[in-house]
Amino acid sequence: MIKKILVANRGEIAVRIVRACKELGIKSVAIYTDADRHALHVKKADQAFNIGSDPVLGYLNAHNIVNLAVASGCDALHPGYGFLSENPLLAEICARRGVKFIGPSPEVIRQMGDKIEARRAMIKAGIPVVPGSDHNLESVEEARELANRIGYPVMLKATNGGGGRGIRRCDSEAELLKNYERVVSEASKAFGKPEVFLEKCVITPKHIEVQVIGDSHGNTVHLYERDCSIQRRNQKLIEIAPSPQLTEAQREYIGKLAVRAAKSVGYVNAGTVEFLLDADNQFYFMEMNTRLQVEHTITEQITGIDIVQEQIRIADGLPLQYKQEDIRHRGFAMEFRINAEDPKNGFLPSFGRVTRYYAPGGPGVRTDAAMYTGYVIPPYFDSMCAKLTVWNLGWENVIERGRRALDDMVVYGVKTTIPYYQEILKNPEFRSGRFNTGFVEAHPELTEYSVKPPPELVAATISAAIAAHLGM
């Protein structure tokens, strides 16, 4: 049985994994660079080790991280999301050193991380894919010929990409010629390989993904879908489970598609199969994420299943505790990515000291955070500093609970996306439950909000004025 886990990550997801370990009676080991020496995950884990002065590179050195896992007596490693979580090298090194990797096999990570290989695997399994290239493009001329054949608009994508990077939409041949070398450059810098491919652009689709879990005993199930259509520049902002936009027939269909996709590649552990849903209600496979997702919280809220604990059990060789017919979803859950950004200023990052932080509470409210009062949000990483998840039985109910929880959540010292999300929840189109990936771009007016001073600040100002008047 796994007794000690090294968490090869930082921030809120590292804290989340540490909490799962504590409930299972498993010791946890955190890693950190100098920039994270005061981070919450360092304080929460049973042990913590410094991995270097460079803010980022320490989290990307697979050999050093696994060496540390062995030296500290860990028998397993959890990669979280981002960093090395979808790098097959980390899983391979773990296997060589006798450390259980809490995730799928290196072969599956490599296959599904290559968008061309993933497309081929899905076509073979009978999963519908977006029309496009079945190999890496060799030249801009080849891209031009294919685009003319399938029709504009098209998407140029990094073959080994992820996280919304290395993607450019091209509405004409001129844009394709302009963007081709740019995407090749982005692919090289972000993912180490200049490989790109081309797909037909599905115009303002709905972005629907399905959570799947498979064990090493041949059992694979889905935990229903999440709607990730509210996004900006391919970066998700708000996620919802289950999607308010699907019928029960569509829900059953896409769930079976996702299970078939996972089984076709021998997937073991937790993963996500992502689809696009076009205006004609046709689902298309987009990609498979071979890791825990940021938005796994909403699936946990509607199913009651702890996905991180299931990941650990599966890595320990245990079978799933349930069959597909045992899994039910109840109500709606919504996750807000609380980013340290200024929506009124082009979503410019707003790093710095959190002078005061109030987490919301009450029924159906969950907060996963990496910050605390006095914490300095470093400028070296993603701007997400917390995740707020709310649950309620009905769609209108979960919206109102979200509004209340966002209103309760107060962050001083840095600007955040909290007031922007409040505006989204007021929007009639969003409240109708009918929206797509073009929602944010279609509503630029949502950034024109005015920020009212929080009640705590007003009360403190009044108290100070009274004290000054009384000469206290």
The pair of structure tokens assigned to 395 is: 């769609």
Contact residues for 402 (Cβ-Cβ < 8 A; gap 6+): 334, 336, 388, 390, 421, 425
Per the listing, tokens 């050999």 go with 63
Per the listing, tokens 């000291």 go with 353
The pair of structure tokens assigned to 81 is: 């999301």
Handedness of CA 291, 241, 216, 368 (dihedral sign): positive
Judge contact between 424 and 406, C-beta under 8 A.
Answer: no
Q: Which amino acid is at 23?
A: E
**What is the rounded distance in angstroms from the CA atom of residue 49 to the CA atom of residue 390?**
34
**What is the rounded distance in angstroms from the CA atom of residue 312 to the CA atom of residue 80?**
12
Backbone torsions φ then ψ of 419, nearest 5 degrees: -65, -30
The single residue of 16, 251, 291, 313 carrying the catalytic annotation is: 291
For residue 296, give the nearest of 3, 7, 12, 4 by alpha carbon: 12
The DSSP secondary structure of 288-325, one letter per residue, reads EE-S--TTHHHHHHHH---HHHHHHHHHTTPPPS--GG
Residues listed for the chain:
472
On the question of a cis peptide bond just before residue 153, with omega within 30 degrees of 0, the verdict is yes
Centre a 10 Å sphere on the Cβ of residue 126 and count the other Cβ atoms it contains.
Answer: 10
Q: Is 232 a catalytic residue?
A: no
The DSSP secondary structure of 395-422, one letter per residue, reads HHHHHHHHHHHHHH-EEESS--SHHHHH
Q: How far is CA 5 from the centre of its chain?
A: 22
Residue numbers annotated as active site: 291
